[in-house]
Amino acid sequence: MAGKRDYYEILGVEKKASDDDIKKAFRRLAKKYHPDKNPGDKSAETKFKEVNEAYNVLSDAEKRSRYDQFGHAGVDPNSFAGGGGFGGGFGGFDFDFGDIIDSVFGGFGGFGGRSSSRRNAPRKGADIKYTVDVTFEEAAFGVEKEINVSRTEKCPKCDGSGAKEGSRPVTCSKCGGTGQVNVRQNTAFGQFSSVNMCNECKGEGKIITNPCVQCSGSGKIKKSVKIRTKIPAGIDNGQAISQRGEGEAGTKGGPNGDLFIVVRVKPHPIFVREGYNVVCDIPVTFVQATLGSELEVPTIDGKVRYPIPEGTQTGTVFRLKNKGIPRLDGNGRGDQYVRTVIEVPKRLSDKQKKILRDFAEASGDEIYDQRKGFFDKMKESFGK
């Protein structure tokens, strides 16, 4: 997943783009890279597939919401099931449509046997969501983090059976190990038969007569574990990475759930991230802007020297190529944009004020193109 390009970048739209903007971008790019227009062009074919994949996610409100929150992990079919939530549940919840059917119909005719078979079948453990804080630079260049995760694990003393060492669960004598019993009821309309959960073994089919002292018969224990994870270079705030099998323990021999690590990037005092680009404002003195100067500019790689020309205006933006955020797919970096802010001096001495007044008197309005143009337009509009 870390090698995939950002879907918004593929379609060339911003994260806040409307559905219409996304649809227009898709139509334009699909037409541009369509195989019929680019016969034999493997590059165009690859881009066409990328565009279709991106549109499939961003045009679906639910998928787009998951993608915005968890990145590619949120729409990975190997990590997510169906249309709602993580495959093994999320945040400790594990929903199953079959369980809902059983709870509504209570195992009545037509559904009998299914409840027990599903209850005793291996089941994947719940997924865990964990949020990790990283600095702006760590998100840009990647970092390895050690996190502490609290989760359930298979009890090592009883190997998950729940029975005391040297013993084992015994088959329930009431239901014969099926976990369900047949109940016949006489009504005014005749005799009806239904299949209910066995209340002796609670539908498990087995009874633990000597429970394990460490897990009290549950077969699981709560444990805090340290996990090392690699945060890839270029990851953005709110995106997630997954670690398979690092979630809650499975049931009945089922696999463990997964761990989803959501990255939260701390704000930087100087830099602001826009996609893979970095933006920063840099104060410039009146003299530097007027005469030109070589500025010391901060970047995420360190300080660099950058010359600005004479007459630089406030708000002028300079581009430092390849000084932005490394791309998640490893294909180059974004750029850095430096915006100049001309700082007007305060607390001038009498001597400094006199120098500026002399300068203003000597220069007049001719050297101020914007000011001259503005007042010329005023004269045209309002007269002298």
Structure tokens at 111: 């559904």
> Is-contact 1 242, C-beta < 8 A?
yes
- Average pLDDT per 10 consecutive residues for the chain, totaling 384 residues: 80 91 90 84 88 90 85 70 39 39 40 50 88 96 94 89 86 85 71 80 84 88 93 94 91 88 95 96 92 94 95 94 93 95 90 88 72 69 68
What pTM did the predictor assign? 0.59
Report the distance separating Cα 113 and Cα 134, nearest Å. Answer: 50
The pLDDT value given to residue 35: 80
Q: Which residues contact 60 (CB under 8 A, 6 or more apart)?
A: none
How far, in whole angstroms, is CA 170 from its chain's centroid?
Answer: 46
Tokens representing 279 are: 């933006």
Q: What structural domains and CATH numbers belong to the chain?
A: 1-59 (1.10.287.110), 268-346 (2.60.260.20), 350-384 (no CATH)
CA angle 50, 54, 57 (to 5 degrees): 145
pLDDT of residue 104: 36
